[in-house]
């Protein structure tokens, strides 16, 4: 069995975690060896960095924010993603390097060339075989976040619009890898559209 690396991307409240977990269960039920994780997170150090990054009390510069996301990524790639792919497993990751390009690059104005260079270092050059971009209008997504909002979710509507448009630009640049899946009102319909792409892979 050849390894496959599948990532999920999307703006806030698009249902990415639900959809990626549903895909994980589906592939497991087929008897495949699948590893599932989220970014930032997946290992102790990266989960600690996640807490700092999402804490509304944290005061973090755009540069430090970019490097913290990269540090969290570097650890999970070394500890989990690279070994799993080497062992021929399927890895599903809820967010990856495209998130940094969208949120810190397009969103905060960090140079995208620099993000890609540091990204190559942090990911050990590992690239997803398939990236599912779950697309939902920002207004609808943010409606799902009415109570507690983390540090990133608290950013303006305009910021989140720029992030979404950034993702759409990335998808236009790499249409074979980044596939846009529209978020449907019925989550099973969305899931079936995702499965069509992963089954083909
Ligand atoms: P999540 O809400 O999908 O779990 O992701 C955590 C938050 O971190 C989300 O608001 C997106 C943001 N994020 C970035 O800004 N840059 C990154 O590189 C990653 C992985 C996430």
CA of 162 to the centre of ligand 1 (A): 15
Q: Is residue 90 pLDDT above 70, yes or no?
A: yes
Q: What's the maximum distance between 2 C-alpha atoms anywhere in the chain?
A: 45
CA of 50 to the centre of ligand 1 (A): 9
Q: Is residue 13 pLDDT above 90, yes or no?
A: no
pTM above 0.85, yes or no: yes
Q: Which protein residue's CA is at the shortest distance from atom 12 of ligand 1?
A: 152
CB–CB of 163/153 below 8 Å?
A: no
Compute the mean pLDDT over every residue in the chain, rounded to the nearest whole number.
Answer: 96
Rounded to 5, what percent of the chain is helix, strand, coil?
55, 15, 30
Q: Report the nearest atom of ligand 1 relative to the CA of 38.
A: 4
How high is the pLDDT of residue 56?
Answer: 97
CB of 40 sitting under 6 A from ligand 1: yes
CB of 152 sitting under 6 A from ligand 1: yes
Question: Facing residues of 82 across strands?
Answer: none
Q: Which range is least confidently modeled, 93-97, 122-126, 153-157?
A: 153-157
Q: Which protein residue's CA is at the shortest distance from atom 6 of ligand 1?
A: 40
DSSP per position, 41-109 = -SSHHHHHHHHHHH-TT----HHHHHHHHHHHHHHHIIIIIHHHHHTT-EEEEES-HHHHIIIIIITT-
Q: Which protein residue's CA is at the shortest distance from atom 7 of ligand 1?
A: 152
How high is the pLDDT of residue 110?
Answer: 98
How high is the pLDDT of residue 146?
Answer: 67
CB–CB of 60/68 below 8 Å?
A: yes
Residue-wise pLDDT for 58-89, tens only, equals 999 999 999 999 999 999 999 999 999 999 99
Helix (H, G, I), strand (E, B) or coil at 190: helix
Average pLDDT score over residue span 106-130: 98
CA of 115 to the centre of ligand 1 (A): 15
Tokens read off for 30: 């087929």
Of 39, 43, 42, nearest to 96 (Cα)? 39
Q: Which range is least confidently modeled, 37-46, 80-89, 123-132, 144-153?
A: 144-153
Q: Is residue 1 pLDDT above 90, yes or no?
A: no
How high is the pLDDT of residue 139?
Answer: 87
How high is the pLDDT of residue 168?
Answer: 98
Angle at 173 between CA 123 and CA 63, to 5 degrees: 45
Q: How confident is the model at residue 48 (pLDDT cuts 50, 70, 90)?
A: very high
């Amino acid at each position: 069995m050849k390894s496959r690396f599948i990532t999920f991307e999307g703006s806030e409240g698009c249902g990415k975690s639900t959809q990626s977990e549903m895909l994980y269960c589906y592939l497991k039920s087929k008897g495949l060896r699948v590893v599932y994780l989220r970014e930032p997170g997946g290992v102790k150090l990266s989960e600690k960095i996640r807490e700092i990054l999402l804490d509304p009390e944290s005061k973090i510069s755009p540069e430090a924010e970019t490097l913290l996301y990269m540090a969290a990524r570097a650890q999970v790639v070394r500890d989990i993603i690279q070994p799993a792919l080497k062992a021929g497993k399927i890895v599903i990751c809820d967010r990856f390097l495209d998130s940094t390009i969208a949120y810190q690059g397009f969103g905060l104005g960090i140079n995208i060339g620099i993000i890609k260079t540091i990204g190559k270092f942090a990911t050990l050059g590992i690239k997803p075989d398939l990236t599912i971009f779950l697309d939902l209008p920002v207004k609808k997504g943010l409606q799902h976040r009415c109570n507690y909002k983390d540090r990133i979710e608290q950013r303006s509507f305009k910021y989140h619009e720029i992030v979404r448009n950034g993702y759409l630009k990335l998808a236009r640049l790499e249409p074979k890898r980044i596939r846009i899946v529209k978020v449907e009102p019925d989550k099973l319909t969305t899931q079936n559209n995702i499965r069509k792409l992963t089954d083909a892979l």
